Each structure stands twice: as C-alpha cells, then as structure tokens.
Amino acid sequence: MSENQPRRPLRRVLVANRGEIAVRVMRTCKDRGIETVAVYSDADRLAPHVLMADRAYHIGPPPARESYLDGDKILAVCARAEVDGLHPGYGFLSENDHFSEACAEAGVTFIGPPAAAMRLMGSKTRARESMIAAGVPVVPGDNGPGGNGFPDVDAALAAARAIGFPVLIKASAGGGGKGMRLVTEPGDFAAAFDGARREAAGAFGDDTVYVEKAIIRPRHVEIQVFADTHGNVVHLGERDCSLQRRHQKVVEETPSPAVDAALRARMGASAVAAARACDYVGAGTVEFLLAADGSYYFLEMNTRLQVEHPITEAIYDVDLVGWQLDVAAGAPLPMTQDELDARRRGAAIECRVYAEDPLRFLPSTGTITHLRVPTGPNVRDDSGVYEGSEISMYYDPMISKLVTWGSDRAQALGRMRRALSEYVVRGIQTNLPFHRRVLTHQGFCAGDYDTGFIGREHDAIWGDDAEAAPAEPDQAGPTASGDLAVGLIAAAIDRVERTPQALPELAPEAGVSAWRLGLRAGPWGRGR
C-alpha cells in the first residue's frame, strides 16, 4: 500500500477463535470502540468470548473440523454480520493461506499476513531456501533433490552421512514435533525415516521430509517481528521458549538469560531480513535454535500472533493486537526500531496453565468447581475460563496464561512464584504444581536450561514425592462426601441464579451484547 492510499477503517471484527485469545483480541477491539463478533460451537455456548462479544453466532458441534476449522461457516457469518475484518487468533485457521485468500475475495480484511507469505513460510523446505538466499543462518541440512524432500531412504541416508550424525528428520509441512525424529546412529535411520513420513502424512497430509544437523542442547529463542504495508519492518526483541514438553512450550521469558545486547541485535537483524524476504505484513515470529557457543540458526517462522506475545507487550509497554488492527487498516507502524530499543525495560515471564496431569502432561477434563486467580502489581492472567467452566476433550487444554513483569529477572520470578502460590483450581488437574516446582529449580533460577531440560531434570523437579504431586490440595476437589454434597448444591443454586435458561443466537439487528443483556456466567454474573 502506498502512502496516499486510503485506510480501511475497522468498525466490526469477527474473532475466528475461542478461549483466552478470543477474549484477548476482543478486549483491544472494545478499547477502540470496534464492535466484536464471536463464533462458537455447542461446547462453547456459554464461553467467556461468547458472552463478551457484541454479537455471537453458532457454527456447529464441538469437533473443531465441524466448527472452528470450517472456513465456509465462518465466512457465512462474516457476510451475515457484515464485518469489516477477521482476526484469526492463533491455531485453527490462523495460518491457512486459502482461508486468508477467501476472506479477501469476500471483502473481509484478514488481520494477518498475506497468503503468499504464509505459503512460503508454511513449507519448511521452501522457507530454508528463502532464508539462505536472504543471508539468514540456517541449520546445516539437505532439502532433498530439487529442494523437494527425499523420496527414498537411501538418498536421505546419504545426505545424513554427509551432514554428520546426529541428525533430525523433519516434516516439511510439520510443526509441534510431529513428523520429526532424532537419529544418532546410521543403523537407526531407516526406521526413523519411515516413521517420520507416516506421521507427517497422517498429521499434515504431506509425507515430504528433509534432513538437518541436530544441535545438541539448544535453546529455543524466537524474535517478534512486525511489518506494515509501507515497507517498515521492526523487531521487538527475543523470547526464550526453551522450557518445553513434547516440543510444546510451557514457560517463556524475555529477555533470554543467554542473550546479550549484541546477540539480540544480530538475531533481530536476521529476523527482520527473514520478514523482508517473504514480503511480510503484520505480526510474526522468527524462531531460532541458539547453540551454546552463541551461534544461531533459523528454525521456522510463525505467520501469526504467538501465544506468548504478552511478555513482549510487558517489556515494551505496547499492545500488539492494537498494532495488528492498525496495520490491517493500512496504518504505518507507530514506532521505529530505535524508539523500540529505547523503550525496552525489565523482564517478564509467562507460565502456560494447562488442564493436565502435571507429571505426565496428559489432558484433564471436567468442570472447574473452584477458581481463584492471582492479582497484584504487574500480574496478568489471560484466561478463557471461569468457575463452572467445562474443560472438554475437543480443544487445546490451555486454560490461561499467567504473566508477571519485574524491573529485572529476579523480581519477575519472585512475582511469578507469589502469583502461582495464589492460583487455585479445583475440579480438574492442572500443571500448577509443575510450575511451582520448576520455578524453584536451581538450574532454571540460574537461567541454565535448554529444550531438553524438563525431561532431563524430571526427578530433580519432583524429588521423592513425584507420585503424590497430582493430589496437591489445590488440584483436588472436596474429599468428604458431606462437603461434596454441600458444594454441589451450592454450585447448582449459584448456576441457576447466574445462568440464563438459554443463550439465544444474537442476531445482527439486535445490536446488544450478551454481556450487557445480563446473559452472563462465571465471574461476570449479576451482582458481581
């Protein structure tokens, strides 16, 4: 977009998501006087994002493929609600280039990057080629003949021998660790190759794999980038996301204990180059593996807003969702790189609170019977649940993101420990006991950790009472039968008083949100 082209004001935005990210986006929209439209499945009929929205539309049964992943249904709601823009959040359709194009064809502003950038960065092999051409460091590897992956194990093994073991076999269309195998010996390669291809085909419908050098005990450090349609690209520093289980992030912090100002500037410059290489627009994240010697390598680019964006917001005192809305409307970035660098302050940490067994990291379903959320100075909890919420098997088990800020890392960690001690959830299991323990682990407190930390330090984290951990007091419901009966009766009475008999679909012509009509639940009920 050139400087003299008119901006596209956003007056009504549909949030094509659920849970905490839908609530998060709607809050910024409401701050700006932008009307909000929610979509919901049967399982989310009384979810917070539905009750917060100015308008809400039912889009199907609980399975995501029949609701939140059904682009046709969502576009039909866009037409019915006459929205100007659509914010996809993260997950679901947020990185679907076909959906982005369909939004444009329907005259709806997709609040995200261009479809071409999604396609380029969505292919690991093409992304690697693009990064090499842009001068961005990449892990030594081989994308296969013509850069199109390896069609057979013999060619892949030859490439692995040339690279040098240990190697990783990775799915070109992969993510979240699916279709990925670590191979330390040539004799194990064939079985790992076949397994990676099968898993990639099942997860992504694409069995293309490539081979790259395995970096031993790396840190996972990502750079937040932002670009507008006027040619401006900036970065907002790094986030250390090395604390992971099964390749999924659990704790993130900024700044990284392993990154100094000089390394931050180099990695930031590489991330900006990556964004320019794909003509990026909007919020994106360039992920790197950081080796112990300070060398770093491009891993992938996430073409959306990241789950952990609040810690970046905390140290720069900005609203990244607000930036997304402005850039989508055609505005230039509000700050230069120098202004951002001067604005940076303090440290922030995020703990992802999951409904899961804290030892085995297996999902826990059920009803939240009691919820007490921490508050206080520089404590933020982005949540998509309330007391009485049902945690189902259909969606990601993350129930909130707990964020603390401090003038330095020690203060941010101290606040997080205090906040975790105040956080109480009953009726389901959560990983709160894990967070409390890992944040007192000597290695983590010293900033000495990498992507293998949780698996390697499991026994040290839990000590002698690991088997008892899931039964910590805040995880269990009432144990005495009398207490249980009283609790259930009280909960039933409270639910009747606070919950409407039915939540009608809010028609566009109604113009009044469930929030204002009193169709509320949980902490937002009448009289609360």
- Paired tokens of 338: 């120098």
Helices 320-328, 19-31: inter-axial angle, 10-degree rounding: 70
In the structure encoding, which two tokens stand for residue 149, read together?
Answer: 């992956």
Give CA–CA dist 393/107, Å, rounded: 35
Measured over all CA atoms, what is the biggest interatomic distance in the chain, rounded to whole angstroms?
A: 71
Provide the β-strand partners of residue 301.
286
- Compute the distance between CA of residue 250 and CA of residue 246 in angstroms, rounded to an integer: 10
Q: Which residue has the tokens 């889009």?
A: 59
Strand arrangement of the beta sheet that strand 85-87 belongs to: 55-60, 35-41, 12-15, 85-87, 109-110
Q: Which of 24, 128, 304, 409 is catalytic?
A: 304
Give 363's strand partners: 356
Residues in contact with 380: Cβ distance below 8 Å, sequence separation at least 6, in sequence order: 310, 314, 402, 403, 404, 405
What is the C-alpha to C-alpha distance for residues 487 and 276, in angstroms, rounded to an integer? 57
Active-site residue 304, yes or no? yes
Residues comprising the chain, all counted: 528
Nearest 5 degrees, angle CA 1-CA 29-CA 387?
Answer: 145
Pair 399, 375: CB distance under 8 Å: no
DSSP string, 199-224: HHHHHHS---EEEEEPPSS-EEEEEE
Q: For the chain, how big is the Rg over CA atoms in Å?
A: 23
Residue carrying the six token digits 């144990």: 479
DSSP string, 181-201: EEE-SGGGHHHHHHHHHHHHH
Alpha helices in 317-387 (DSSP H): 320-328, 337-343
**DSSP state at residue 7:** P
- Whether the bond between 166 and the residue before it is cis, its omega within 30 degrees of 0, is yes
495, 388 Cβ separation under 8 angstroms: yes
* Long-range contacts, stretch 463-471, CB < 8 angstroms, 24+ apart: 466/359, 467/359, 469/358, 469/359, 469/433, 469/434, 469/437, 470/357, 470/358, 470/359, 470/429, 470/433
Which 8-state DSSP code applies to residue 177?
A: T
Strands 167-171 and 181-183: antiparallel
Q: Which residue in the block uniquely carries the two structure tokens 């007490």?
A: 372
- What is the spatial distance between Cα 180 and Cα 201, in angstroms, rounded to a whole number? 12
d(CA 63, CA 77): 18
Q: How far apart are CA 315 and CA 38, in angstroms?
A: 30
Nearest to 281 by CA among 316, 221, 326, 341: 326
Give catalytic residue positions: 304
